[in-house]
Chains A and B, each alone.
Chain A
Amino acid sequence: MGGTKFDLIVIGGGPGGYVAAIRAAQLGMRVGLVEREHLGGICLNWGCIPTKALLRSAEVYDHMKHAADFGLIARDFGFDLPKVVERSRKVAAQLSGGVKHLLKKNKVAVFDGHGALDGKGGVAVAGGPTLTAPHVVIATGARARHLPGLEPDGRFVWSYREALVPDIHPKRLLVIGSGAIGIEFASFFNSLGSEVTVAEVLPRVLPFEDEEISALAHKAFEKKGMTIRVGTRVAELRKGADEVVAVLDAGGETSEIIVDRVIAAVGVVPNVEDIGLEAAGVTLTDRGFIRVDGWLRASTEGIYAIGDVVGPPCLAHKASHEGVICVERIAGASDVHPLDADRIPACTYCRPQVASVGLSEARARERGRAVRVGRFPFLGNGKAIALGEPEGMVKTVFDADTGELLGAHMIGAEVTELIQGYGIAKSLETTEAELMHTVFPHPTLSEMMHESVLDAHGRAIHF
């Protein structure tokens, strides 16, 4: 360490950047990593991880509320929001420290500061040295999109960042956007007793999931007491002294609701500013993401980009995987292939959880596939009943001609931990036959994955 000449420099220490750096170091490269704020990026500090900590508190609290259903007695229980948040911050801090350690262990030189391409093949670190390397990987991620009139204002309107460290417990909350981020916060505050309204401009919640899953989620959220307004735009926020009047516009029909706080979760925009892209001649797509090819190569020789900054799906595991592909390709490793978007799973940690991989039924049909669809309800699964989690479904979509598993869509308890099974199946290119031949352990929720496959072929046993 100490030098400024590297084989590879990574700008951004999130789940894309730090994984790329470690993999490159494993492949024998001297690696420098520039991070302006904290290692682990949004995912670890302000995203995936701290929200999971919050949601875990909410889940335990939900269980306490239903203690009697399990023959348990819980009295005088409640929550202490600052303590809940404190735990979430501790979890994030612990893991961020872990990343720092991993980078050190792999001899990755970490530079604190804002990194930018200098247009001469180097990377300038603000307040630090200029680093040089033949390969520079941009992994600067994305940030919350701000729509006019819905910008975070330091008081009433929160982005995910403020919502993670709430100053009050809002009695009435409006969540704008029903993607993973919006729905997770909606679910958290709903569990804590807030009156939550979700406004989604598209015609269904979790609009990127399979339509049937969206419909089941919609019902489940309403059952938990949320108000779901789909096909609805937030036309205006009128801020008063202590509360906000939100004007909702559902296809021309307007209504007003009064809330204490608003969470704007209307997507993300890539961090492409002030990192010297123009000077280096790196071009963007029409939607403002860095343009890359299947090997994550940007338009300028020697410049690469991975993760959220190259476009959706904006998911940590997608960024990490792209990082690995990118540096393995640079190192000339064998058996490296461009990422297949149909194999990237997506998880939402609301209650009930939602997880999926591959094509939805509608998308598969759009692609002209003849499909076979299997479904299996949680109600037919012994473990689900024993857990007291009888709501949910596992849906599978197969190509009717080849037996290829095109997609899997799940809603219900713990499905985020189950979806990887179908991910492996897709990676190994199994057909329905191998999935049917697989012995699933009893009693587990995973048996539903088996049954769904069987159902797609008219062979479900337990339903």
Chain B
Amino acid sequence: MPIQILMPALSPTMTEGKLADWKKREGDPVAAGDVLCEIETDKATMEVEAVDEGVLGRIVVPGGTDNVAVNSVIALLLEEGEDAGALENLDVPALVKAAPVSVGESALPTPVNGQITDSVTRAAPTGAQGERVFASPLARRMASQNGLDLSRIDGSGPRGRVVRRDVEKALAEGTGRATAPAETSAAASSAPAPAAKAPTAADPVFALMPEFEALPNTNMRKTIATRLTESARDVPHFNVSVDVDLDALLALRTQLNDREGADYKLSVNDFIVKATALTLVKVPEANVAYTDDAILRFKRVDISVAVAVKGGLITPILKDAASKGLATLSAETRALAEKARAGKLQPEEYQGGTFTISNMGMFGVRSFNSILNPPQGGILSVGAGERRPVVKAGALGIATVMTLTLAVDHRCIDGATAARFVQDLKRLIEDPIGLML
């Protein structure tokens, strides 16, 4: 006999409430303490936790249902050993009606009714955050057949509805993937719950705060949120900083840029990219990614460069940066940044780098720490080159100094490797003629 899950009373006076959202789906295993669903009253939203363990057999009251009476059956839990057949003979509507009156032993095992059609339980597709995603039936089906998460696809139809062309575009561009393999159950249009849980705008906490404007999350914003949350939470970061003297590099830069007929204009960043790439060749232990089975050591250095764009950031890639000259790197960087800002980067232009450089020097930032760009093992944060007092040969002097901070994934890069990397990088920047070799 499946266990009946009843609409709880959140307060002694509560007689009915809104079943806001299911956090488990039919077929999901449930352990005691797992959050099953959210119930809303006019005062608060509360989570309903499972008391028993088993498999969520059937959701009787779908998410988003208003005025659900306290003690009515909202779902049926299959106990260990019970299979879905145990649900077949239950007259669910009768349960729903009967339940508020009494929930005795006589749970009316009337036959008939067979399976509930999928139209009841599959009312509306929801995104990772549980909000409804507006999509055409065809788009829904194509997304589910291809393991795409509709909430990660921008809709171009009426009022942002996701339509066929949007799914086709996502397929062509390789975007919109669900974060984990799609579930095999019939409710395939759902996406796995995200790792991070942020409050929704409807959260009562915001009611106490000043009036606000809700700016809907773009897909880029959702991607940033998901990836960086995973990175900050799951990857053990540590940072190593070093100050580098830039004067020799600046002199070389002036010399190169002033050459007659120069059709390039090298930036300090171009030198940092080149120096980083060469250092990664020299210290291949830092050009790596961690996996459960092995550390992957890449045979080429592809540098991702963080570029701020409207509504977020993206990291176009300078492929094989170590073997390219400064002028080439400079031109490529400029072209990629322009494409990024125009939103015209192709997936292969921003997916697959081995190491990231983030430069905030132009904003006068002295030093900062970055969150790793998974699955890469390292990211370099570049601060501003500024005139600072320094001690040289036992005397106080002035030099242009820049602080570089390397963040690494400790699972694949240890302290000694990180230190050696920044040491070699510093040496190369301070004696930049090495960049020309």
Contacts and interface: CB of A to CB of B under 8 A. Distances in A.
A430 B145 contact: no
A439 to B, nearest CB: 13
Contact of A403 (B141, B156, B158): B141
B163 A429 contact: yes
Contact of A404 (B138, B157, B159, B165): B138
Interface string B112-135: 000000010000000000000000
B426 interface: no
A402 interface: yes
Contacts of B141: 402-403, 431
B158 A431 contact: no
A404 B140 CA distance: 11
Given A429-B164, A437-B119, A402 B138 contact: yes
Interface residues of A, number: 13
Contacts of B137: 428-431, 433-434
A335 interface: yes
A429 B145 contact: no
Interface in A376-420: 401-404
A101 interface: no
B142 A428 contact: no
A430 B138 contact: yes
Contacts of A430: 136-138
Interface of A: 335, 337, 401-404, 428-431, 433-434, 437
15 contacts: A401-B145, A402-B138, A402-B145, A403-B138, A403-B141, A428-B136, A428-B137, A429-B137, A429-B163, A429-B164, A430-B136, A430-B137, A431-B137, A431-B141, A433-B137
Contacts of A335: 156-159
B139 interface: yes
Contacts, number: 32
User: For the complex, would chain B's binding face be called helix, strand, loop or mixed by DSSP majority?
Assistant: helix
A430 B301 CA distance: 47
A398 to B, nearest CB: 11
A335 B145 CA distance: 26
Contact of B142 (A337, A402, A433, A434): A402
Contact of B164 (A401, A404, A433): A404
A161 to B, nearest CB: 41
A403 B136 CA distance: 12
A345 B164 CA distance: 19
Contacts of B163: 429
Nearest to B119: A437
A103 to B, nearest CB: 28
Given A402-B138, A428-B137, A434-B137, 19 more contacts: A335-B157, A335-B159, A401-B145, A402-B141, A402-B142, A403-B138, A403-B141, A404-B138, A404-B164, A429-B136, A429-B137, A429-B139, A429-B163, A430-B136, A430-B137, A430-B138, A431-B137, A431-B138, A437-B119
Nearest to A426: B138
